[in-house]
Structure 1
Amino acid sequence: MKTVVLALMLGLPVTPQATPPSGVHREAAPPREPMKRFSWRDEAAGYTFVAPPRWAGKVRVDPLTSEELAKSSATSGVRFMEGSATLLVLLSADETRLQALTSTGASELSRHGDHVVVVKMGADVGELALTNEELASAIQWDGGAQGTVAR
């Protein structure tokens, strides 16, 4: 008993040390896996944009500034970029602003209730360009079945 008390007072281990489980101490972290899916959520408009897997890890999202939104009459918008090239721009607003949105060269992509999403395609985007089918199924509205688009 005196040995145990003395060991506790000196901070010596009373029981033999157990080996820590693997992966916890002094082991390298596993390599990062690239994203398998690219998606971007617009909380204000209530939709999610889902791009094909080839966008994962290559495309970044650049939200539009308030000046750009005011100029386009949109309530929310985002630019999808690869390097310095703009792949596409999504703008959303209520249906009353549709004419102002499409007058800037954008085309209607999807609508749900009173919300409308329009798209402006970038020039010469190469392998990351979306096909018509991919673009048509890219918008998933809240409350709708996955993969369906209300038009």
Structure 2
Amino acid sequence: MKTVLLALLMGLPVPPQATLPEGVQRADAPEREPMRRFSWRDEAAGYTFVAPPRWAGKVRAEPLTSKELAKSGATSGVRFMDGSKSLLTLLSSDETRLQALTGAGASELSRHGDHVVAVKTAVDGGELALTNEELASAVQWDGGVTGTQAR
């Protein structure tokens, strides 16, 4: 900096500083790619819910409130929404609370060890509704194979 300042004061030509390679500055940001798959992770229960590609960019996940969880008997849960329409609700809990989950209108979807995932599906999910096969293979447990121990 002192050399540059001195050169400017004296009117001497300033040698060019090291420049960045071409394209580093003023490069356009890459185009935003659409979501290719829809997935939602439940860290507490240890599983990932992976929906078919037709859900990508259309469906959003809304975690259930503590009041809704208490009412259903679940320890964690999420509602998948298409606009204002609920497509399905996933509830997870340990095996001892399974009666509370099924009593709240959910049916058991999958289990792994002591954890159980139950599901409530919408009456009419339209084109985004999951088939029984898609629903059965949607839960992927940590350390397990897709669809293992699914009911």
For normalisation by structure 2, the TM-score amounts to: 0.86
The one-letter code sitting in structure 2 at the alignment partner of 1:75 is T
Structure 1 position 114, deviation (Å): 1.1
- Find out whether 1:9 has 2:6 as its counterpart: yes
d(CA) in 2 for partners of 1:68, 1:128 = 24
* Structure 2 counterpart of 1:149: 148
The one-letter code sitting in structure 2 at the alignment partner of 1:144 is G
5+ residue gaps, structure 2: none
Residues 10-54 of structure 1 show CA distances to partners (whole Å, capped at 9, x for unaligned) of 3664138757422x3234322200111111110111111011111
Structure 1 position 105, deviation (Å): 1.3
Residue pairs, 1:1-151, within 5 angstroms: 9-10=6-7, 13-15=14-16, 20-22=21-23, 24-145=24-145, 147-151=146-150
For normalisation by structure 1, the TM-score amounts to: 0.86
Structure 1 position 138, deviation (Å): 0.4
The one-letter code sitting in structure 1 at the alignment partner of 2:36 is K
Question: What's the C-alpha RMSD, in Å, of the aligned pairs?
Answer: 2.1
The one-letter code sitting in structure 1 at the alignment partner of 2:16 is T
Contact 2:49–2:138 (CA under 8 A) maintained in structure 1:
yes
